[in-house]
Amino acid sequence: GLEMIGVENLKKTFALKSKVLGIQTGEVHAVNGINFGIRRGKTLGLVGESGSGKSTTGRLILRLLEPTEGKVTLEGRDISKISNREFRKMRKNIQMVFQNPYSVLDYKMTIEDILIQPLHIHKIVTPLEYKKEVERLLEIVGLSKKDRKKFPHEFSGGQRQRIGIARALATKPKFIVCDEPVSALDVSVQSQIINLLKDLQREYDLTYLFIAHGLNVIKHVSDEVAVMYLGKIVEIGEVEEIFQRPKHPYTMALMSASPVPDPEATRNRIQLKNEIPSALNIPQGCSFHPRCPKAMEICKKTEPPLEEYKTHEVACHLYRGEEAYHG
């Protein structure tokens, strides 16, 4: 099917400079050559610990950061190389919902003014229609028309996230990066926001990249799941395959770490050794080997490529045939 968003060999390297010496002293490979596509109306869940490069990926797609290498396509068109002027014209098609809506909701502005901003900047409706459009936006995210005169601090965390979503929807986007949109909310509120995002997706044929650090939330929103570790995708496939037949030891570890009372998962609990290494110091070979309970000799030397194994793609020597075991 037609891809709404495509990412090809996307890389972002940050240079580290010594403040004292004024020279470059290292590099951080935050996103290290990733590929994926998201079909129209679908959700790709992107999961991994903090520092895995998930948010950087979202920011690269939105051009909040410039890629070091690779490209991003929107409906087949390369948007990573077009001029800023051209990008501004299509910018309304892609939006972001943040973990902390406070970061985009100016506390001195009324909700009405907050929502008018994108309507005005992108000329979505005429000024005469602002009030009506603001009321419509509030209603589709489950708030009241009367809320438009209030300020952000007068709302609960969940309501503020609804305003963040309304703000993202104001420009009638095709694609939204949802960067941990429920991580800061109470568990009871999380499912309400998730359900709202799903309803809006159906209603407006939205395509999502949904970023989360745990698999719990991902399971309920995603059509496909990509697991990220130290800047790379280590496993990607349809949501049922990932949850029923996880292949990468890291995915299995994330799964057994999820706080769902699943006796099977508890029995097979995989404890990760050590902390996640810094992206500054990515281990050689399979970057997961210092923490992997199944690591073999070859894992320390040779990096496994992401490749198809039966149901979906995985980057792990366990699935690479006889020669892998004898390195």
**295 contact choice in ligand SF4, Mg ion, none (CB below 5 to 8 Å, kind-dependent):** ligand SF4
Give the HSE-up count for residue 12: Cα atoms under 13 Å, Cβ half-sphere: 23
CB closer to ligand SF4, 42 vs 248: 248
What's the DSSP call for residue 55? H
Rounded to 10°, the helix 187-204/157-169 angle is 20
**55 contact choice in Mg ion, ligand SF4, none (CB below 5 to 8 Å, kind-dependent):** Mg ion
Q: Candidates 32, 55, 57, 190: give the one binding Mg ion (CB under 5 A).
A: 55
Give the nearest distance from C-beta 315 to ligand SF4 in angstroms: 7
Give the nearest distance from C-beta 54 to ligand SF4 in angstroms: 19
Q: Check binding of 56 to Mg ion (CB under 5 A).
A: no
Q: How far apart are CA 150 and CA 168, in angstroms?
A: 19
CB closer to Mg ion, 211 vs 253: 211
Give the nearest distance from C-beta 56 to ligand SF4 in angstroms: 22
DSSP symbols for 205-264: T-EEEEEESSHHHHHHH-SEEEEEETTEEEEEEEHHHHHHS--SHHHHHHHHHS----HH
CB closer to ligand SF4, 167 vs 317: 317
CB closer to ligand SF4, 160 vs 232: 232
DSSP symbols for 140-200: HTT--GGGGGS-GGGS-HHHHHHHHHHHHHTT--SEEEEESTTTTS-HHHHHHHHHHHHHH
Task: Select the span of 28-36, 53-61, 145-153, 303-311 touching Mg ion (CB under 5 A).
Answer: 53-61
**162 contact choice in Mg ion, ligand SF4, none (CB below 5 to 8 Å, kind-dependent):** none
CB closer to Mg ion, 43 vs 55: 55
Per-residue b/e over 70-106, b at no fewer than 16 CB within 10 Å? Answer: bebbbbeeebbeeeeeeeeeebbbbbbbbbbbeebbe
Give the nearest distance from C-beta 231 to ligand SF4 in angstroms: 15
Do the Cβ atoms of 134 and 96 come closer than 8 Å?
A: no
CB closer to ligand SF4, 81 vs 301: 301
Give the nearest distance from C-beta 223 to ligand SF4 in angstroms: 25
Q: How far apart are CA 69 and CA 241, in angstroms?
A: 30
Phi, psi of 242 (to 5 degrees): -65, -40
Q: Which residues bind ligand SF4 (CB under 6 A)?
A: 248-249, 286, 288-289, 292, 294-296, 299, 304, 316-318
**137 contact choice in Mg ion, ligand SF4, none (CB below 5 to 8 Å, kind-dependent):** none
Give the nearest distance from C-beta 14 to ligand SF4 in angstroms: 25
CB closer to ligand SF4, 92 vs 294: 294
By beta carbon distance, the residue nearest Mg ion is 55
Give the nearest distance from C-beta 229 to ligand SF4 in angstroms: 9
Task: Select the span of 37-45, 51-59, 67-75, 221-229 touching Mg ion (CB under 5 A).
Answer: 51-59
Do the Cβ atoms of 287 and 229 come closer than 8 Å?
A: yes
Task: Select the span of 48-56, 80-88, 139-147, 200-208 touching Mg ion (CB under 5 A).
Answer: 48-56
What's the DSSP call for residue 126? -
Do the Cβ atoms of 250 and 234 come closer than 8 Å?
A: yes
Give the nearest distance from C-beta 304 to ligand SF4 in angstroms: 5
Give the HSE-up count for residue 279: Cα atoms under 13 Å, Cβ half-sphere: 23
Q: Give the distance from CA 130 to its chain's centroid.
A: 31
- Contact set with Mg ion (CB under 5 A): 55
